[in-house]
Amino acid sequence: MEPLNLRGERHRVSVIGWGLVFLLLVTNAADIVLLFLAVMVDPVVALSTEGASWIASAAQFLLGYPVCLLILAGIPADPMETYRLRPGQLADAAFACCFLLVTGSLLGQAVSGIISGILGYETQNIVSESISSTSLFYNLVTTVVAAPVCEELVCRKGIIDRMNRLGDRPAILVSALLFALLHGNFYQFFYAFGVGLVFGYIYVRTGLIRYTIGIHMAINLLCGVMPDVWYQIGGDAAAILWELLLVAAAAVGLVRFCVRFRRRRLLRGWIALPGNRWGFIVFPNAGMIAFLICSAVLFVLYLL
């Protein structure tokens, strides 16, 4: 094991925090600038729901995430061994994600309902509203392709490659937490954290980002886009039937998760941490504090 360089390790994590801060700042600034330019060209298209959504996605996936990856590239990544997964293992991971997504969604709705009762007005589920108010092509490009690729490159490969030196457990937990906070609302926070744990575990065990990208794409398609597609095709009956299928998949995921959880294997890092107190490295640093503040602002703005 390497001796602990507390200042150096905090600096590494601080850069990760600043990378996520700039992801948010660049995304929002670029969204404003691109929208302004688009309004000058064609205000009708730019201010439509579809047009504004494309502009916001371009700002996020073409500018925000690349800037974040450039910042993370300033931290040397630690090497990871690679292992392949069998098809059955991939299926188990997908079913486990269904279980965590369904239960996390219910928890998010419950928490949002409580908050709505306290505030005296109903908070909006911006995810379902966005999917239902935009075209299928937009949702396939952004929700099914762009979001999984960018989020996995940053939240799994970008973060875990630079934190696994502290051990698998902190790398998985922190990457899942940051992934959940990036969503900026209570509806998505809980299931994003749950599936983030699964994605993180898969990545630290395989070292191959293509697995988490593929499962992430499948989950976003089946649980995010397809319910609205079935509603458009067959109305409430078709949408309810699809939701029941997802619940059945979640039940299978719960059983398989319980079976495989006993076989989990998490490794310690090669940095000598006193008492494994990695929290004293991860959170008390400028970059991570700045990101937590930005995340809190996003959650508050979402409630307004």
Is residue 177 within 8 Å of residue 186, measured between CB atoms?
A: no
Residue 214: Cβ-neighbour burial (10 angstroms; 0-12, 13-18, 19+): middle
Does pLDDT of 219 surpass 90?
yes
Contact of 188 with 180, CB cutoff 8 Å: yes
CA distance 37 to 145: 26
Residue type, 153: L
pLDDT tens digits for range 109-122: 899 888 888 888 77
* CA–CA distances in Å: residue 222 to residues 242, 250, 290, 301: 9, 12, 35, 29
pLDDT for 158? 96
Look at residues 197, 199, 250 and name the one whose alpha carbon lies nearest to residue 222: 250
Rounded CA Rg of the chain: 20
Calpha distance 177→192 (Å, rounded): 8
* List of residues 6+ apart from 277 with CB closer than 8 A: none
Torsion over CA of 78, 217, 220 and 34, rounded to 10 degrees? 80
Proportion of the chain above pLDDT 90, given as a percent: 50
Instruction: Provide the 3-class DSSP secondary structure of residue 48.
Output: coil
The tens digit of pLDDT for each residue in 158-214 reads 999 999 888 888 899 999 999 999 998 999 999 999 999 999 999 998 999 999 999
Residues 28-65 as b/e (b if ≥16 CB within 10 A, e otherwise) read eebbeebbeebbeeeeeebeeeebbbbbbbbbbbebbb
Q: CA-CA distance, 208 to 211, in Å (whole number)?
A: 6
**Picking from 150-154, 227-231, 289-293, which range would have the lowest pLDDT averaged per residue?**
227-231
What is the rounded distance in angstroms from the CA atom of residue 26 to the CA atom of residue 22?
6
Residue 175 CB partners (closer than 8 Å, separation 6+): 155, 156, 159, 160, 163, 196, 200
| Tokens linked to 164 | 């696994």
CA distance linking residue 69 with residue 71, whole number of Å? 5
pLDDT at position 31 over 90: yes
Q: What is the reported pLDDT for 115?
A: 86
> Where do runs of H (alpha helix) occur along 84-185?
87-119, 126-133, 136-139, 147-152, 159-163, 168-182
